[in-house]
Amino acid sequence: MISTPTALSIAQELLRCPSVTPADAGALGVLETLLKAAGFEVHRVTFSEVGTADIDNLYARIGTSAPHICFAGHTDVVPPGDDGAWTHGAFDGEVADGLLYGRGAVDMKGGIACAVAATLDYLAANGGQPQQSGKGSISFLITGDEEDVAVNGTVKLLQWAAERGEQFDHCIVGEPSNVEAIGDTIKIGRRGSQSGVLIVDGTQGHVAYPHRAANPVPDIARLITALNDEPLDAGSAQFQPSNLEFTSVDVGNPATNVIPAQARAKFNIRFNDHHTQETLRALVDQRLAAACGNRIRARIEWLPSNADVFVTKPGAFTDLVSASIAEVTGRTPDLNTGGGTSDARFIAKYCPVVEFGLVGQTMHQIDERTPVSDLDKLTAIYRGVLERYFA
């Protein structure tokens, strides 16, 4: 059999590219070289938008027919922080005591490396094609714009692919889904995210003459309490209850003897499938109006959001991934929708998608790292997914 690169060697190459978002730093080139050599048709696509950085993206496919499974992910990483605080260089890709260190080792260059290694090994064992019959397709949809604003990445790459006639049947995003050990969690959905600013207007005045002013500070405190006191919902079959969290209160007033003219409070809502962005905004606006009555002058400034709620309901595909996990680890994964948002929210509009990758305990931390043995396990799981998918 033809020798193919290991997940460790691929991950080390990727980690040595300092691709702090929005920089690519050669990371996509590493993947392009590997995939082209394996027979993939590879496209590099750059997207732009006013006020944001140009972003390089990669789409690669082998095969031209269904069934079509896609591996998706991102090669951009968050900044490493204090370089001197790292035990091993953030972009050195060093292995020490069985651990691979580097920014992106977990989130998510390690996961991409495992998917590529598994795919190349699978193809080498199957005559260089997804199925020996010649049917089936495998693709990679990789962006450099996930850790920042996420406007010139996956969302536009999916639109570009759709305009080319690409159709995906299923997708795996290699985000670090596991909590404590490889195989403990598959993410089958994510809550939506909606941010806003609560604005309460008052009348500025001297603190010695409060009857000549209207203080917005007590009013905004009452409204925060009112909006927090009543739950948005009780959760659903696949999701925990939606939650509204206030994150700051600001009056822009450095003086101690002046009643401010306005108070503002920022908040974020993580919402489940009881709501859409539109119905959620309407519900909160309605509750605010009721809390204000005829006395308090307040409004919400809703911020733009592209983070919709989604869920891939358990079925044949989640069963297939779970079976591959059980074969390698002996674990039955929890099908979970917790955590923050990811690019899977964009993919869910095109095909069923799950997230399964490495253990996320050290992502975004100093000394981000993963056991090399976890890379081997994840590669074996992805390989098992391909074998079952094209059986």
Question: What Cα–Cα distance (Å) separates residue 175 from each residue in 44, 79, 179?
Answer: 22, 18, 12
* Strands (E) located in 223-272: 243-250, 258-259, 262-271
33 contacts: CB under 8 Å, gap ≥ 6: none
C-beta separation of 160 from 338 below 8 A: no
Catalytic residue among 13, 32, 56, 76: 76
273 is catalytic: no
- Annotated binding residue at 43? no
Buried b (16+ CB within 10 A) or exposed e, 353-377: bbbbbbbbebbeeebbbbbbebbbb
218 contacts: CB under 8 Å, gap ≥ 6: none
**Dihedral of the alpha carbons of 58, 11, 320, 134, in degrees to the nearest 10:** 50
Which conformational region is residue 98 in: left (phi greater than 0), alpha (psi within -120 to 50 degrees), or beta?
left
C-beta separation of 142 from 45 below 8 A: no
Sign, Cα dihedral of 151, 153, 154, 156: positive
Hunting for tokens 């974020």 — which residue is that? Answer: 268
- Annotated binding residue at 175? yes
CA angle 105, 342, 47 (to 5 degrees): 90
Q: Which two tokens stand for residue 120?
A: 């190349």
- Annotated binding residue at 211? no
92 is catalytic: no
Q: Which two tokens stand for residue 302?
A: 């809703």
Catalytic residue among 24, 56, 121, 146: 146
What is the β-pairing status of strands 95-96 and 185-187?
unpaired
- Annotated binding residue at 107? yes
Which residue positions form the known binding site? 74, 107, 147, 175, 364
Positions annotated as catalytic residues are 76, 146
Which residue positions form the known binding site for Zn(2+)? 74, 107, 147, 175, 364
